[in-house]
Amino acid sequence: MITILGCVINEHNIWLVLVAALVCASGSWAVICLFERAARTKGLQRAGWHFLSAVAAGAAIWCTHFIAMLAYEPGAPVSFDPVMTILSLLIAIAGAGAGFIVAASGSARIAPAFGGAIVGVAIAVMHYTGMMAYRVQGIIHWDMGYLVASVALSVSISAAAFHTTMQTSLRGRRYLAAGLFFFGIISLHFTGMTAFKVTPLLLDNGFSNPAAMQALAIAVAVVALVLVGAGLASYFIDDSARTESLDRLRHMALNDGLTGLPNRASFIDRLDHEIDLASESGRKLALIGIDLNKFKEVNDLRGHAAGDMLLRALGERLSGLTGEGEFVARTGGDEFAAIQRFVDQARLQEFLVRLEQALFEPIEVNDFVIAPGASFGVAIYPDNATSREALISNADLAMYRAKADVAHHVCYYDQSMDEVVRARRSLASDLKAALDNNELDVHYQVQTSVVTSQIRGFEALLRWNHPEHGFIPPSEFIPLAEENGLILQLGEWVLREACGRAASWEPPYKVAVNLSPAQFVHADLAKLIIEVLMSTGLPANRLELELTESTIFQDKERSFSVLRQIKALGVNIALDDFGTGYSSLDMLRSFPFDKIKLDRSFINEAEENLQAKSIIRAVLALGKSLDIPILAEGIETKGQLTLLGDEGCDEVQGYLLGRPTTFANLIETGKISLVNKGEISLPRIAHQPLEIGDDAPDVLTRSA
């Protein structure tokens, strides 16, 4: 026989005490973990975790008690009252659950300790209810001192355990709390058993079956470990799911959803980190701004789905080419950024070569192959900048210079050269403000009949008088609008302004408006024209839309389909800059244009160059044979006008006949009058940013 804390245990049953300790220890750890999870959740989730915590606690407390009781040797036959035994288990589960609810309530600072005390009481009530279920053939005596001590230990230690659990600032609190809870259960049991004394009665029916008792103990232990294991499994599964969810959210927050590359937030964090490292180590850091060359073209001609496929393919390439000290991110749209720590220029050059290969190698998207290409701007830390903002800005400046230089894909930051780019970017910002603040104006250039010298109409031309820099040439601000996505807004504004003004003219002359390639590829062009005509009240036959051969040539099948829709409205279509495009005769064969505008380049040389004169004569003859009126642009001398008259040209336009002028000046000079006197109220458009192609020519603002 062995005595532990006054409890007499058969030496053959010492392993049962160890099993009881194992069940108690694993159960205590499970209870603390599950309770912590319950305390961090709310609503039905909290109720579910409380239930699991209560079941795990009840199993641990009850099984620890009964396994240890089976190891106890009273010296007389024993049995168990089934009703009281089951009641003791229910008391353990219900009491622990009540204590957990109070401890996690947060209603007061002492709530965790108070809830833990309730759990301690439940442990004590379970133990002594279980002792009432213990039927032994002998006389039972209780030592009240040990009995009171056992209850006090259980209540105080359990209170300390759950108070510790809720101390979030305490390191290792989970281990400490589990240890305290384990000690609280064990101390209650062994101190309570020390208070328990049995005087056996001499009876003839012998002792209980030891083998059966041991088998029962093993069964109870297995059930307890299964219950505790199930609780822990739920905890770990939930913990794993939470970790996966957090990882997924973190990945979504730090990575681009389309390409999988790090996003702008990741790029900024990494750049800050790399700048700090470069500053500490004395090494150099290269920041490379990257902009795709043909992404807008793919979006406009093939749709956004094709653009997304292109970006995904490029993302896969870029994610696989980085090595140590290198980083690539998608910072937005068709823009990327790369970072590299380097010591010598050769390593940086090698990285740039890899980037070029990845972005210039052809990619098959659906049924077509495209070599996207890119422009690279490189800024070096600390040579070109000593702060993150300046480094990014300088890399962008170099990249924009690379986009403007068709001979070079890579440009390094150069302060003297990139100041020009900086000025252009500032001007682009001013252009956006001018559009928002209605600082732009439409001028009108007269179109005249050669035979009668009568006015046939006016061409609307966009002009910008900058509040600080004065008149900005269209050749300067139109490319800016194309680069910065403003060309669609400008084109729509000119169309509305010109139609609104023309609706008030008397006589009812035609008004000619140029269409940019970006406007022409826009899906809702016909719908826009209908809306403008209806809102301004201009008859469709008084609007003439001009577009170049190059605009149509980008997608001939779609272009002719759109032109037919517009012509069906009654709007006139003029082929602009005739003779300078790709396939002029094929254009005339494929679509019935209402007018051909002969390019100014032929007119400029007509008086001296026999070849130019022959081309003019051939075009005019072609127009007569097809019954299409010809308008010659750029008439600046009387000799040019006489020549065109002799050759049978229908209409002319140029400085000789009238420079582009304001709407007010047309009225003052008597070229037009107003149908309704007074100020004309014109509709304004809401300026929404729209994407266009990079290679849109200057067709909004030509002046003849």
Identify which has the larger pLDDT, 301 or 537. 537
Q: Is the pLDDT of residue 679 over 60?
A: no
Rounded CA-CA distance 394/178 in Å is 58
163, 112 contact by CB (below 8 A): yes
CB-CB contact of 446 with 455 (8 Å):
yes
Q: How far is CA 426 from the centre of its chain?
A: 28
pLDDT score at 57: 86
Continuous H helices in 166-263: 173-194, 210-254
Q: Is 6 exposed, middle or buried (0-12, 13-18, 19+ CB in 10 A)?
A: middle
378, 286 Cβ separation under 8 angstroms: yes
Query: What average pLDDT does the segment 506-533 reach?
Result: 87
Q: What number is the average pLDDT over the span 222-229?
A: 63
Banded model confidence at residue 682, pLDDT cuts 50, 70, 90: very low
Inform me whether the pLDDT recorded for 490 exceeds 80. Answer: yes
142: enclosing H helix or E strand:
strand 138-142
Strand partners, 653: 633
Q: Is the pLDDT of residue 71 over 80?
A: no
| Superfamily in which the 264-413 domain is placed by CATH | Reverse transcriptase/Diguanylate cyclase domain (3.30.70.270)
Q: Is the model more confident about 165 or about 702?
A: 165
Asked if residue 544 has pLDDT above 90, the reply is: yes
Q: Which long-range contacts (CB under 8 A, 24 or more apart) does 176-182 make?
A: 177/32, 178/25, 178/28, 178/29, 178/31, 178/32, 179/28, 181/28, 181/31, 181/32, 181/157, 182/24, 182/25, 182/28
Pick left, alpha or beta for residue 579 (phi over 0 → left; psi -120 to 50 → alpha; otherwise beta).
Answer: left
pLDDT of residue 693: 32
pLDDT at 5: 44
pLDDT band at 63 (very low <50, low <70, confident <90, very high): confident
Is the per-residue pLDDT at 80 higher than 90?
no
- Statement: residue 114 has pLDDT above 60: yes
The yes-or-no verdict on residue 341 having pLDDT over 70 is: yes
Residue 375, Ramachandran bin (φ over 0: left; ψ between -120 and 50: alpha; else beta): beta
CB neighbour list of residue 18: distance below 8 Å, 6 or more residues apart: none
pLDDT tens digits for 395-443? 988 898 888 777 788 999 887 766 777 777 788 888 888 888 888 999 9
* Most confidently modeled range among 55-59, 372-376, 466-470: 372-376
Instruction: Give me 669's structure tokens.
Output: 């000079």
The CATH topology of domain 441-461+488-673 is: TIM Barrel (3.20.20)
Backbone φ and ψ of 631, nearest 5°: -115, 125
Distance CA(297)–CA(691), nearest Å, equals 10
For residue 384, pLDDT beyond 70:
yes
- The answer to whether the CB of 380 falls within 8 A of the CB of 349 is no
pLDDT tens for 163-175 read 898 887 777 888 8
Could you read off the pLDDT of 290-334 as tens digits, one per residue?
999 878 777 777 778 888 888 888 999 998 888 888 999 999 888
pLDDT at residue number 495: 94
Write the secondary structure of 604-616 as one string of H (helix), E (strand) and C (coil). Answer: HCCCCCHHHHHHH
Q: For 662-685, what is the mean pLDDT?
A: 70
CA angle at 120 for the pair 117 and 121, rounded to the nearest 5°: 90
Whole-number pLDDT of residue 704: 38
- Give the angle subtended at the CA of 89 by the CAs of 83 and 94, to the nearest 5°: 120
Q: What is the pLDDT of residue 496?
A: 94
Q: Answer yes or no: is pLDDT of 499 > 90.
A: yes
Mean pLDDT, to the nearest integer, of 50-55?
84
pLDDT confidence band for 13 (50 / 70 / 90): low
Residue 690's pLDDT is 32
Q: Which of 112-116, 345-349, 475-479, 694-698 is predicted least confidently?
A: 694-698
Average model confidence (pLDDT) for the chain? Answer: 82
Q: What is the pLDDT, as a whole number, of residue 322?
A: 87
The tens digit of pLDDT for each residue in 656-671 reads 999 999 999 999 998 9
**What pLDDT was estimated at residue 2?**
44
Task: Average the pLDDT over each of 162-171, 277-286, 449-458 and give the range with the smallest value.
Answer: 162-171
Residue 247 pLDDT exceeds 80: no
Local structure of 575: helix, strand or coil:
strand
Domain ranges of the chain: 2-201+218-226, 264-413, 441-461+488-673
Q: Is the pLDDT of residue 362 over 50?
A: yes
Q: How far apart are the first and last CA of the chain?
A: 119
Tokens of 284: 């150099």
Predicted pLDDT at 93: 87
Distance from C-alpha of 636 to C-alpha of 655, rounded to nearest angstrom: 5
